Amino acid sequence: MANLIPIYYLGKKHMVPEGVTIMGAIENSGHRLVRGCGCRGGFCGACATVFRIPGDHQIKVGLACQTRVEAGMDVAILPYYPAQKVLYDFKTVTDPARALQTMYPEMYRCLGCSACNKICPQDLPVMDIIAEAQRGNLPAVAELSFDCVMCGLCASRCLAQMVPYNIAMAARRLYSHSMLLGPDYVGVRIREIEQGVYDRQIDALLEKSQEELQKLYAERDIECI
């Protein structure tokens, strides 16, 4: 049997197996997670977690599905963080960089305190991302923020009350829609689909059963790069 260690979840003590993740420990203690659990693989950012370790004054952060428990850990999960999100229409955008600056003018309130960098569980340079957004350098924002899982922790600590992850998401979308040129073959394939070149094959797939589709998927040719 695994050794049991004490942790505190929302102020209540639980004895949980040593070495499990925070999410596993919470479920092992009898809680049923219906929010803030997401993909369970460290990709969606839904299980943003804050915790303290005995003897350490700092609040630490992590994703509950990836962070291992420690004895005496005091844990709370943030399943959702309220954040401003601006709606926009790509069809009306003529200047992507200017559009981003207009949608999120609060990014110019950045104090350069680096709190966002310190709290990011992905160790992303959030402050640099905002600096590039201020300059209108969307390609740099897209590159630097590519691994963002939008967990919301940066917004929870921003002294300027910004939402860095929404700013970065808007920048990536504007960049990919208005500035990044896609490969030629994608346009060719889209036109072929619109012209009905593949209608017969699509109809044939729609007539197949789930078992037949699963068999086709399992036996498909996979190109290794």
User: pLDDT band at 15, cuts 50/70/90?
Assistant: very high
Residues 120 and 161 in one domain: yes
What is the chain written as a DSSP string? -PPEEEEEETTEEEEEETT-BHHHHHHHTT----SS-TTSSSSS-TTEEEEE-TT--S-EEEETTTPBP-TT-EEEE-S----------GGG-S-HHHHHHHH-GGGGG-----HHHHH-TT---HHHHHHHHHHT-HHHHHHHTTT----SHHHHH-TT---HHHHHHHHHHHHHHHTPPPPHHHHHHHHHHHTTTTHHHHHHHHTS-HHHHHHHHHT------
| pLDDT (0 to 100) of residue 113 | 93
Residues 50 and 102 in one domain: no
Residues 115 and 155 in one domain: yes
Residues 30 and 102 in one domain: no
Q: What is the mean pLDDT of the chain?
A: 88
Of the candidate ranges 96-110, 193-207, 211-225, the one whose mean pLDDT is the lowest: 211-225
Residues 73 and 136 in one domain: no
State both tokens at 68: 């291992």
84-99: average pLDDT: 87
34-38: average pLDDT: 74
Torsion angle, alpha carbons of 140, 149, 123, 26, to 10:
180
Number of neighbouring beta carbons within 10 Å of residue 50? 17
| pLDDT (0 to 100) of residue 196 | 94
Residue 201 belongs to what domain range? 189-217
Residues 134 and 112 in one domain: yes
Residues 72 and 97 in one domain: no
22-35: average pLDDT: 85
Query: Would you call 11 exposed, middle or buried from its count of C-beta atoms within 10 A (0-12, 13-18, 19+)?
Result: exposed
| pLDDT (0 to 100) of residue 185 | 85
Angle, vertex CA 174, rays to CA 169 and CA 176, nearest 5: 95
Instruction: Express as a percent the part of the chain with pLDDT over 70.
Output: 97
Q: How many structural domains are present in the chain?
A: 3
Close Cβ partners of 141 (under 8 Å, ≥ 6 residues apart)? 129, 132, 133, 167, 168, 171, 172, 175
CA gap 152, 130 in Å, rounded: 15
CA gap 48, 36 in Å, rounded: 8
Q: Which residue has the higher pLDDT, 131 or 118?
A: 131
144-166: average pLDDT: 90
Query: Would you call 142 exposed, middle or buried from its count of C-beta atoms within 10 A (0-12, 13-18, 19+)?
Result: buried
Residues 94 and 127 in one domain: yes
40-45: average pLDDT: 80
23-47: average pLDDT: 82
Q: Per residue in 61-90, pLDDT tens?
A: 888 998 999 999 999 887 677 778 888 888
Give me the half-sphere count of Cα atoms (radius 13 Å) on the Cβ side of residue 7.
Answer: 27
Decide if 159 is inside a domain: yes
User: pLDDT band at 195, cuts 50/70/90?
Assistant: very high
Instruction: Express as a percent the part of the chain with pLDDT over 90.
Output: 54
| pLDDT (0 to 100) of residue 135 | 94
Q: Per residue in 172-184, pLDDT tens?
A: 999 988 887 777 8
Beta bridge partners of 27: none
Decide if 85 is inside a domain: no
